[in-house]
Chains A and B, each alone.
Chain A
């Protein structure tokens, strides 16, 4: 037991102690304020104005937001990405989960090599990735076309309107499978070895263990990765923008909502409307995320 210090000292010390957490939080909130809150506030302000080449800037209230509701180009972009996400997210996360479980179960020679190899695409900047895939996708001189020609088969066109979403999905999957796999693998490693032992004693097969023990324990992690993926999908920008340089006939300036907001703000000079589009997109993402969490939390009560 330590003796109580004299009262004045205690008061001083407790003041400092009370201030400590705030001091520790300060750097975070300072950066959060400067880089998140302030730009958001500025964008919100912008979204309430309309800038015109003739007539200047006028306050328009919610007009920009009302305009987004009937903007076919915005909703077509959202629809594009809805389609994209419905196929790409399950595929990507399914692959990541499979790889993680296979790695964890130790059924693999050259385990580290595989782990690094599948994570490596994530380390490749998306600019480089798009250039590499752009070459592979080349409709006349690309290797797939050359191979198809050599075999006398019809050449696939990866850059056509009907295939482009899948071609981009393929790039994104290639980029992010490893990233998600590492998250799952870490979560699997955190599952106590006792459970594995107990399951083995009970005579469970690897498959049974994966399905009835690992998957349910992994569920919160899977939930988080799905949320990340939904968020990332609806904000898709880099990959389609870079593919646009190769297939400008197929990828329009409003192919994804973010590309649309970007072109509105730059070549369109409509910063106010671009800001409104960004907030609406943010709202769509938040809405889908909340809906998903609600559905998933109901789902969680049912055993997998």
Chain B
């Protein structure tokens, strides 16, 4: 369910397509060559469109390794297949695309190999908060592929029409929400996809939410803490007054609503700007990007929604080669640059995040604004975050409980309480000591 950069698969522009041969030259400069006699065969699961381009670059640089690319489904579908394979002990890939929030869950069932020996060399290429999510001391469980720092896309035409400036704080956001809906009852400042665990977590992350702290088999669970309370006190009245909607995202209705001007903003991740261009037809040129509104009394902080890693399965028969593949796909300069021009992923490598060519690229869809600048600023302001060792259950519980609330039953805080209760029960059932 978690939206992902791969959803940006529609309408990807090809004008930046690099010639594989040219890229291969650059790739060959990397120390990845193996001179094995028999070709090692690796399987990689990824749902990223056109991933074959990067795979070809790896194969060209490593002629001793054959790589088969398999799309085993996106997000949840892939994890279900992975879990089934783990149960059966067969049919598993060597390298697998996995969203950040699931790493801890698959580590818990010892499904991921420690690739620290290969990966730690590249530690300096990534931001500390990014590296923290894929490692545990010197052990490394995956390589970051892309991320989703949060910012706000807004309809300049709609806000201008009602004399509203893009809110920079959540207080201003609430004022703008009421003013806008009062001025035009057909328009809402935004649609909050609260039943999407990834989206809601991204916003709570910004607010300082720390739902899980782990110490061995002891798990501290604070889902309905003071941060959740402040978050609820902010959104509950806006939803109750009907000035913000809380409908599910990624439905035909939602696509139409975003394009038709029902919502003046979309709070979204770094992969969002490109994804929006894939379905918005009538609002072209009206959108702009600005920073995520801020809570009072803090430094500039953003959250994160989505983004993937490449992990090596512990069951792989060729762990060293698999680690090479995962690392290459995450750090090779040409391969990673291609993500930003072909698949339009939001980069995780510092070299790309700091690249002016990438950051200053103007987008016609956004009135010529270089929106990557906004998102690069957000990427630098994402604090560290700890996920639970059973994150798919947590997201499912959030979907169930926030859905009930979004349909008008009870308060948001009660939904937080129910998620807390369900997760505590689950953790206890799963043998954790809950603190």
Q: Do A and B bind each other?
A: yes
Residues of A with Cβ closer than 8 Å to B?
Answer: 52-55, 134-135, 138-142, 160-161, 245-254, 263, 266-271
Contact of A267 among B195, B389, B396, B404 (CB under 8 A): B396
The reply to whether A161 and B407 form a contact with Cβ atoms under 8 Å apart is yes
Assuming the contacts A248-B1, A249-B407, A268-B393, asked whether A254 and B431 have C-beta atoms less than 8 A apart, the reply is: no
Contact of A54 among B83, B260, B406, B431 (CB under 8 A): B431
Question: Which residue in chain A gives the minimum CB-CB distance to B400?
Answer: A252
- Interface pairs (27), CB distance under 8 Å: A52-B429, A54-B430, A54-B431, A55-B431, A134-B252, A138-B252, A141-B252, A141-B253, A161-B409, A245-B250, A245-B251, A248-B248, A249-B195, A249-B247, A252-B399, A253-B396, A254-B400, A263-B396, A266-B79, A266-B80, A266-B392, A267-B392, A267-B393, A267-B395, A268-B393, A268-B426, A269-B390
Q: How many chain B residues touch A (Cβ–Cβ < 8 Å)?
A: 40
Residues of B within 8 A of A263 (CB): 396
Assuming the contacts A53-B108, A250-B407, asked whether A138 and B430 have C-beta atoms less than 8 A apart, the reply is: no
CA distance A52 to B248 in the complex (A): 32
Assuming the contacts A266-B80, A267-B392, asked whether A249 and B403 have C-beta atoms less than 8 A apart, the reply is: yes
The reply to whether A269 and B253 form a contact with Cβ atoms under 8 Å apart is no
Residues of B within 8 A of A160 (CB): 407
The reply to whether B404 and A252 form a contact with Cβ atoms under 8 Å apart is yes
The reply to whether A249 and B392 form a contact with Cβ atoms under 8 Å apart is no
CA distance A253 to B195 in the complex (A): 12
Question: Which residue in chain A gives the minimum CB-CB distance to B109?
Answer: A53
CA distance A134 to B251 in the complex (A): 9
Residues of A within 8 A of B195 (CB): 248-249
CA distance A138 to B109 in the complex (A): 41
The reply to whether A135 and B252 form a contact with Cβ atoms under 8 Å apart is yes
For window 94-128 of B, CB contacts with A under 8 Å fall at: 108-109
The reply to whether B407 and A246 form a contact with Cβ atoms under 8 Å apart is no
CA distance A266 to B406 in the complex (A): 25
Residues of A within 8 A of B217 (CB): 54
Residues of A within 8 A of B430 (CB): 52-54, 269
For window 182-202 of B, CB contacts with A under 8 Å fall at: 195
The reply to whether B253 and A248 form a contact with Cβ atoms under 8 Å apart is no
Is B220's beta carbon under 8 Å from chain A? no
Question: Which residue in chain A gives the minimum CB-CB distance to B193?
Answer: A248
Residues of A within 8 A of B87 (CB): 271
Question: Which residue in chain B gives the minimum CB-CB distance to A271?
Answer: B87
Assuming the contacts A138-B252, A138-B253, A246-B248, asked whether A252 and B403 have C-beta atoms less than 8 A apart, the reply is: yes
Residues of B within 8 A of A267 (CB): 76, 392-393, 395-396
Least CB distance, A294 to chain B, in whole angstroms:
37
Question: Which residue in chain A gives the minimum CB-CB distance to B397?
Answer: A253
Least CB distance, B75 to chain A, in whole angstroms:
11
Residues of B within 8 A of A135 (CB): 252
Question: Which residue in chain A gives the minimum CB-CB distance to B250?
Answer: A245
CA distance A55 to B409 in the complex (A): 38
Residues of B within 8 A of A252 (CB): 399-400, 403-404
CA distance A160 to B407 in the complex (A): 7
Is B432's beta carbon under 8 Å from chain A? yes
CA distance A87 to B253 in the complex (A): 29
Assuming the contacts A53-B432, A267-B393, A268-B393, asked whether A253 and B400 have C-beta atoms less than 8 A apart, the reply is: yes
The reply to whether A248 and B403 form a contact with Cβ atoms under 8 Å apart is yes
Mask: chain B, 382-405; 1 = CB below 8 Å from A; 0 = not: 000000011011011001101110
CA distance A270 to B260 in the complex (A): 43
Residues of A within 8 A of B393 (CB): 267-269
The 5 A-B residue pairs with the shortest CB-CB distance in the complex, in nearest-first order: A54-B431, A249-B403, A267-B392, A52-B431, A55-B431
Is B246's beta carbon under 8 Å from chain A? yes
The reply to whether B431 and A53 form a contact with Cβ atoms under 8 Å apart is yes
Is B274's beta carbon under 8 Å from chain A? no
The reply to whether A53 and B407 form a contact with Cβ atoms under 8 Å apart is no
Is B262's beta carbon under 8 Å from chain A? yes
CA distance A134 to B256 in the complex (A): 14
Q: Known A-B contacts: A134-B251, A253-B396. Give 16 more (CB < 8 A).
A: A52-B431, A54-B430, A54-B432, A138-B253, A246-B251, A246-B253, A249-B406, A250-B403, A251-B403, A252-B400, A252-B403, A253-B399, A253-B400, A266-B80, A269-B430, A270-B429
Least CB distance, A139 to chain B, in whole angstroms:
7
Least CB distance, B198 to chain A, in whole angstroms:
13
Least CB distance, A135 to chain B, in whole angstroms:
6
For window 213-257 of B, CB contacts with A under 8 Å fall at: 217, 246-248, 250-253, 256-257
CA distance A271 to B389 in the complex (A): 17
CA distance A55 to B64 in the complex (A): 41
Residues of B within 8 A of A249 (CB): 195, 246-248, 402-404, 406-407
Greatest chain A CB density within 10 A among B87, B262, B404, B407 is at B407
Least CB distance, B14 to chain A, in whole angstroms:
28
Residues of B within 8 A of A271 (CB): 87
